[in-house]
Structure 1
Amino acid sequence: MRNKKLIAILAPVCVLLVSLALRGVRLESIPPGMHGDEAEWGLIERELVFGKRKELIGIGRQGIYFDFPLLGFYIQGLFHKILGSTIVGVRSSSVFAGVLTILIFYLWMQELFDTKTAFISSLLFAFSHWHIAYSRMGLSNIWSPLFEVLVFFLLTKARKTNKLWNITVAGFFAGFALYFHHTARIVPLIGLAMLGLEAAFHTHNRRFYLKRFFCFLGVVLLVFSPQLLYYLRYPADICARCGEVSIFSHLPEYFVRYQTHNLLVVLWEQLRRTCRVFFLGGDIGYHFYGYQGPLLSRLSALLFACGFLFAVVKALRGDGGAQLVASSFLLIIVLGGVFTIDAPSSQRIIGVLPLIFAATAYSSHWLLERIKQLRPGGRWAAPLFLTFFFGLLFLDFLQNYQIYFVHYIHSQDGWAQKEPATTIAKYLAQKDSERTYVYMLREGSWLYFNHGVIKFLAPEIQGRDVEDSAAVIPAVVGHRQVIYIMPFESPSLSKLKSVYPGGHSENFFNPRGNTPWFTVYEVGS
Structure 2
Amino acid sequence: MSRFPRLSLACLWVGLLIAWRGQLLLSVDETTATGGWLFLGGVVIFGAGMAAMPHVERNWSRVAQRPFLPLFPRKRPFYPILAGFCIGFAILAYIGLAHNQFTPSGTIAWLTSLLLFLLLFAEYPADWRTTTPHHLWRLAPWRRTEWTIRIRREHLILFTILLLAAFFRFYRLAELPLDMWSDQAEKLLDVNDVLNGARPIFFERNTGREAVQFYLTAVIIRLTGLPVGFMALKLGTTLISLLTVPLVYLLGREMYGRSLGWVAATLTAVSHWHVAISRVGLRFPFTPAFFTPVLFFLVRAFKYNRRNDWLACGLTLGIGLHTYIPMRIVPLLLVVLCFIKAIWDLNEWYRKRPNSLETSSLTITFWQNATLGGFAALLTFLPLGRYMRDNPTMFWYRAATRALSDSLTPADLWRIFWQNVKNALLMFNYRGDVVPTNTIPLSPVLDTVTGVLFVLGIVYLLWQLIRWRDRRSLYLLIAFFIMLMPSTLSFAFPRENPSVVRTGGAIPLVMMIAAMPVVFLYRQTIRYLPRAGTAVITGSLLLLIIWQNYTWYFIDYSHHYRQTVWNTTEMAQVARGFADSIGDMTHVYHVAYPYWADTRLIGINAGLPGWENAITDIQQLDAHRNDPAPKLYLLHVDDRAAQARLRLLFPAGHLWRHHSVIGPQKDFMVYFVPGEPEQH
The answer (yes or no) to whether the contact 1:145–1:350 under 8 Å persists in 2 is yes
Alignment equivalent of 2:553, drawn from 404, 408, 411: 404
Deviation at 1:447, TM superposition (A): 4.6
- Relative to 1, partners in 2 of residues 1:169 and 1:282: Cα closer, same or farther, differing over 3 Å? closer
**Structure 1 segment 176-255 matched on structure 2, within 5 A:** 176-202=319-345, 205-246=362-403, 248=405, 251=408
Deviation at 1:469, TM superposition (A): 5.2
The answer (yes or no) to whether the contact 1:473–1:496 under 8 Å persists in 2 is no
Where 1:374 maps in the other structure, the secondary structure is: coil
Does the alignment pair 1:419 with 2:566?
A: yes
Q: Distance in 2 between matches of 1:8 and 1:288?
A: 34
The answer (yes or no) to whether the contact 2:189–2:609 under 8 Å persists in 1 is no
Alignment deviations for residues 426-459 of structure 1 (CA, whole Å, 9 cap, x no partner): 433452585632333335562553x355356433
Query: How many residue pairs end up in the alignment?
Result: 502
Q: Distance in 2 between matches of 1:499 and 1:263?
A: 57
Whichever of the two has the greater Rg, that structure is: 2
Q: Which residue of 1 aligns with 2:178?
A: 32
The answer (yes or no) to whether the contact 2:652–2:673 under 8 Å persists in 1 is yes
Q: Distance in 2 between matches of 1:218 and 1:313?
A: 37
Alignment deviations for residues 224-245 of structure 1 (CA, whole Å, 9 cap, x no partner): 0121112111111221011111
Q: Distance in 2 between matches of 1:394 and 1:373?
A: 23
The answer (yes or no) to whether the contact 1:73–1:180 under 8 Å persists in 2 is no
- Relative to 1, partners in 2 of residues 1:414 and 1:143: Cα closer, same or farther, differing over 3 Å? farther
- Relative to 1, partners in 2 of residues 1:250 and 1:30: Cα closer, same or farther, differing over 3 Å? farther
Alignment equivalent of 1:521, drawn from 671, 675, 678: 671
Task: Give structure 1 stretches of 5+ with no counterpart.
Answer: 256-260
Letter of the structure 2 residue corresponding to residue 40 of structure 1: E
TM-score by length of 2: 0.68
Letter of the structure 2 residue corresponding to residue 52 of structure 1: G
Alignment equivalent of 1:360, drawn from 514, 519, 524: 514
Deviation at 1:395, TM superposition (A): 1.4
Deviating more after overlay: 124-133 vs 70-79: 70-79
**Structure 1 segment 345-384 matched on structure 2, within 5 A:** 345-375=499-529, 380=530, 382-384=531-533
Letter of the structure 1 residue corresponding to residue 157 of structure 2: A
Q: Which residue of 1 aligns with 2:134?
A: none
Where 1:519 maps in the other structure, the secondary structure is: strand
Does the alignment pair 1:13 with 2:154?
A: no
Q: Distance in 1 between matches of 2:216 and 2:666?
A: 39
Q: Distance in 1 between matches of 2:204 and 2:601?
A: 14
Q: Distance in 1 between matches of 2:412 and 2:396?
A: 28
Alignment deviations for residues 383-429 of structure 1 (CA, whole Å, 9 cap, x no partner): 323212211211111111111111121123466xx432333234334
Letter of the structure 1 residue corresponding to residue 335 of structure 2: L
Q: Distance in 2 between matches of 1:464 and 1:515?
A: 22
The answer (yes or no) to whether the contact 1:437–1:483 under 8 Å persists in 2 is yes
Letter of the structure 2 residue corresponding to residue 31 of structure 1: P
Letter of the structure 2 residue corresponding to residue 33 of structure 1: D
Letter of the structure 1 residue corresponding to residue 396 of structure 2: C
Does the alignment pair 1:172 with 2:334?
A: no
**Structure 1 segment 344-493 matched on structure 2, within 5 A:** 344-375=498-529, 380=530, 382-413=531-562, 418-430=565-577, 431=579, 436-442=586-592, 444=594, 446-447=596-597, 449=599, 451-452=600-601, 454-455=603-604, 457-459=607-609, 461=611, 463-468=613-618, 471-472=621-622, 475-478=625-628, 480-491=629-640, 492-493=642-643
The answer (yes or no) to whether the contact 1:19–1:99 under 8 Å persists in 2 is yes
Q: Distance in 1 between matches of 2:210 and 2:543?
A: 40
Where 1:485 maps in the other structure, the secondary structure is: strand
- Relative to 1, partners in 2 of residues 1:414 and 1:139: Cα closer, same or farther, differing over 3 Å? farther
Q: Which residue of 2 aligns with 1:511?
A: 661
Q: Percent identity among equivalent residues?
A: 21
Q: Which residue of 2 aligns with 1:75?
A: 216
Q: Which residue of 2 aligns with 1:258?
A: none
Alignment equivalent of 2:197, drawn from 47, 52, 69: 52
TM-score by length of 1: 0.87
Does the alignment pair 1:319 with 2:465?
A: no
Q: Which residue of 1 aligns with 2:243?
A: 100
Q: Distance in 1 between matches of 2:182 and 2:306?
A: 45
Deviation at 1:351, TM superposition (A): 1.4
Deviating more after overlay: 138-147 vs 513-522: 513-522
Letter of the structure 2 residue corresponding to residue 214 of structure 1: T
Letter of the structure 2 residue corresponding to residue 227 of structure 1: L
- Relative to 1, partners in 2 of residues 1:106 and 1:95: Cα closer, same or farther, differing over 3 Å? same
- Relative to 1, partners in 2 of residues 1:179 and 1:453: Cα closer, same or farther, differing over 3 Å? farther
Letter of the structure 1 residue corresponding to residue 262 of structure 2: F
Deviation at 1:327, TM superposition (A): 0.6
Q: Which residue of 1 aligns with 2:459?
A: 309
Q: Distance in 2 between matches of 1:460 and 1:345?
A: 31
Q: Distance in 2 between matches of 1:105 and 1:144?
A: 13
Q: Distance in 2 between matches of 1:445 and 1:271?
A: 32
Alignment deviations for residues 338-376 of structure 1 (CA, whole Å, 9 cap, x no partner): 54422112111111111100101222221122023225x
- Relative to 1, partners in 2 of residues 1:238 and 1:306: Cα closer, same or farther, differing over 3 Å? same
The answer (yes or no) to whether the contact 2:566–2:597 under 8 Å persists in 1 is no
Q: Distance in 2 between matches of 1:297 and 1:444?
A: 36
Q: Distance in 2 between matches of 1:411 and 1:235?
A: 39
Letter of the structure 1 residue corresponding to residue 542 of structure 2: L
Q: Distance in 1 between matches of 2:626 and 2:596?
A: 26
Letter of the structure 1 residue corresponding to residue 462 of structure 2: V
Q: Distance in 2 between matches of 1:470 and 1:72?
A: 38
- Relative to 1, partners in 2 of residues 1:435 and 1:357: Cα closer, same or farther, differing over 3 Å? closer
Q: Which residue of 2 aligns with 1:132?
A: 275
Q: Which residue of 2 aligns with 1:284?
A: 434
The answer (yes or no) to whether the contact 2:522–2:538 under 8 Å persists in 1 is no
Alignment deviations for residues 183-224 of structure 1 (CA, whole Å, 9 cap, x no partner): 111223222332343345445642122123212211111110
Deviation at 1:66, TM superposition (A): 4.2
